[in-house]
Chains A and B, each alone.
Chain A
Amino acid sequence: MKIADKTFNSRLFLGTGKYAHSKQLVSAVVASETELVTMAVARVSDTVATNTLYRTLNDMPSGIQIDFLPNTSGARNAKEAIYAAELARQIFGTYWVKLEIHPERKYLLPDPLETVKAAEHLVKKGFVVLPYCSCDPMLCRRLQDVGCDAVMPLASPIGSLGGISSTAMLQIIIEQAQVPVIVDAGLGAPSHATQAMEMGADAVLVNTAIAVASEPDKMASAFKQGVQAGRTAYELRLTPQSEEASATTPMTDFLREES
Chain B
Amino acid sequence: MNSSISQPETDVAKENALQISMPSDSTGTIKIRFNNQIMHCPQNITVSELLQRELDNSLGVAVALNYIVVPQTQWTSSVLYENDILDCFMAIAGG
Contacts and interface: CB of A to CB of B under 8 A. Distances in A.
Interface of A: 15-19, 25, 38-45, 47-51, 53-55, 58, 68, 70-76, 79-80, 83-84, 86-92, 105, 108, 158-159, 185, 205, 207-208
Contacts of A40: 1, 3, 91-95
A71 B93 CA distance: 10
Interface in B32-59: 35-36, 54-59
Given A16-B93, A71-B95, A91-B62, A41 B5 contact: yes
Contact of A91 (B55, B91, B95): B91
Given A70-B91, A80-B7, A83-B5, A49 B69 contact: no
Nearest to B63: A90
Given A71-B95, A108-B1, A207-B95, A92 B60 contact: yes
Given A54-B60, A159-B1, 4 more contacts: A15-B95, A41-B62, A43-B88, A87-B5
Nearest to A100: B1
Interface in B1-52: 1-7, 35-36
A39 B92 CA distance: 6
Interface of B: 1-7, 35-36, 54-64, 67, 69, 71-72, 87-95
B57 to A, nearest CB: 6
B72 A90 contact: yes
B52 to A, nearest CB: 12
A156 B71 CA distance: 37
B86 to A, nearest CB: 11
